Amino acid sequence: MAKAPSKGTVSRRGFLRGALQGSAGAAAAACATVVATPDANALQRAPKAMSPDALGLLYDSTLCIGCKACVTACKDVNHMPPEVGPEAQAWNGAPGNPTWDTPVELSAKTLNIIKAYSHGTGETKDSPENGFAFIKRQCLHCADPSCVSVCPVTAMTKDEKTGIVSHNPDACIGCRYCVLSCPFGVPKYDYNDAFGEIKKCQLCQHRLAENQLPGCADVCPTGATLFGRTEDLKAEAKRRTALKVGEVTHYPRGDIGGTVGGARAGHEKTVAAAYQSHIYGETELGGTQCLAVSGVPFDKLNLPTNVPDTGYPTLSEGIQHTLYAGMVGPAVAFAGLAYLARRNAKDHPEE
């Protein structure tokens, strides 16, 4: 029969538990200080400003016809394989050789996708009641991206000038912190490949380098996806949200500045549905370079709306920098471990 531990004995498990409790207590005390501070944002670092030359996209849900040409073009220019959703596998060609590309969500094989909202009879486009609408999902290229903040090896980077958020697979260690941290659920890991990689939209940087438009903006027949400087796109978005039903207005195509990919002919269209006054991405989480306007509230389009106006890294990095300033946090944790070790030694004098 095993001998029962004597009074005052600290087992290895107990020691580790106590050490963890001590470290957690130190961290909790630091976090509690943040919450209890009259100015709860005292430890937040300053938000990162968007570059004046930041590039992005403006997606207009009222112009989208759901043709998914952007999805096909994205696959073509980025050499992405077809993807078959579970519900289509029974009829969509032979396994491994599908007739149709039928992705249902962003994945390691699909960087850009069109989703649909439907309500009631679904008879009126861009109406929240008894209507339907489309939404384009891809990386929004945040001004202060969480994926870049959490990446321990700088595999995720943000270009200082263009603001494009890129992923370098050669630097990536596959930790998938970026997948967990993105509030928009964009970076995806390929679990079906033994050497799986993180995949996300990189705004077709390889095409921009050759003065070509991103694939999605290049093929969009209605101008629902428009490329350009984010500041120019934001001004265009504000112009559109101020339009009234029945007004006839001009909608540009391609590059709003007419530079990348050359000038494109736009088209005139009568505004058939009232725009929501809010521009998605203007303020969400510090702002995003890819913006959206719609006739349907964005929460119905499954975009996160209950989010702060500053990026999450402003708080997480602020707390981290405070805890580790002068190595105070680690020193407290080490002191706790040293105390437990010393107490354990006293309870077990050498014989």
Q: Is residue 319 part of a domain?
A: no
Condensed to tens digits (0 to 9), the pLDDT of residues 254-279 reads 999 999 999 999 999 999 999 999 99
A 10 A CB-CB count for 21 gives: 13
Reported as half-sphere exposure (CB side, CA atoms, 13 A), residue 220 has a value of: 33
Please determine, for residue 53, whether its predicted confidence score (pLDDT) is greater than 80: yes
Quick one: average pLDDT of 101-112? 93
Average pLDDT taken over every residue of the chain:
87
Q: Is residue 278 part of a domain?
A: yes
Reported as half-sphere exposure (CB side, CA atoms, 13 A), residue 312 has a value of: 14
pLDDT of residue 31: 47
**How many Å apart are CA 309 and CA 280, to the nearest integer?**
12
Lowest mean pLDDT: which of 5-19, 22-36, 93-107, 304-318? 22-36
- DSSP one-letter string for 326-348: GGHHHHHHHHHHHHHHHHHHHHS
Q: Are 322 and 42 a contacting pair, CB within 8 Å?
A: no
Q: Is residue 37 part of a domain?
A: no
Range of the domain at 144: 55-301
- The CATH code of the domain that includes 228 is 3.30.70.20
Q: Is residue 280 part of a domain?
A: yes
Q: Are 234 and 291 a contacting pair, CB within 8 Å?
A: yes
Condensed to tens digits (0 to 9), the pLDDT of residues 16-39 reads 555 555 544 544 444 444 444 445
pLDDT of residue 262: 94
Reported as half-sphere exposure (CB side, CA atoms, 13 A), residue 192 has a value of: 7
Condensed to tens digits (0 to 9), the pLDDT of residues 60-69 reads 999 999 999 9
pLDDT of residue 38: 43
Tokens representing residue 30 in the block: 């630091």
CA dihedral 314, 320, 323, 329 (to 10 degrees): 170
What's the domain count of the chain? Answer: 1
Burial of 344 (0-12, 13-18, 19+ CB in 10 A): middle
**How many Å apart are CA 272 and CA 18, to the nearest integer?**
65
Burial 165-191 (b: 16+ CB within 10 A, else e): bbbeeeebeeebbbbebbbbebbbbee
Q: Is residue 212 part of a domain?
A: yes
Q: Is residue 44 part of a domain?
A: no
**Through-space distance between the first and last CA atoms of the chain, rounded to whole angstroms:** 24
Lowest mean pLDDT: which of 45-59, 95-109, 289-303? 95-109
Condensed to tens digits (0 to 9), the pLDDT of residues 136-187 reads 999 999 999 999 999 999 999 999 999 999 999 999 999 999 999 999 999 9
Q: Is residue 349 part of a domain?
A: no
Confidence of residue 332 (pLDDT cuts 50, 70, 90): low
pLDDT of residue 179: 97
- What does pTM read for this prediction? 0.81
With pLDDT > 90 as the criterion, what percentage of the chain qualifies?
A: 69
User: Quick one: which H or E segment has residue 320?
Assistant: helix 313-324
More confident residue, 116 or 11: 116
pLDDT of residue 36: 44
Q: Is residue 320 part of a domain?
A: no
pLDDT of residue 35: 45
More confident residue, 314 or 101: 314
Condensed to tens digits (0 to 9), the pLDDT of residues 223-246 reads 999 999 999 999 999 999 999 999
Q: How many residues does the chain have?
A: 351
With pLDDT > 70 as the criterion, what percentage of the chain qualifies?
A: 79
Quick one: average pLDDT of 286-313? 96
Of 168, 288, 171, the closest CA to residue 234 belongs to 288
Lowest mean pLDDT: which of 28-42, 72-86, 97-111, 114-128? 28-42
Quick one: average pLDDT of 99-112? 91
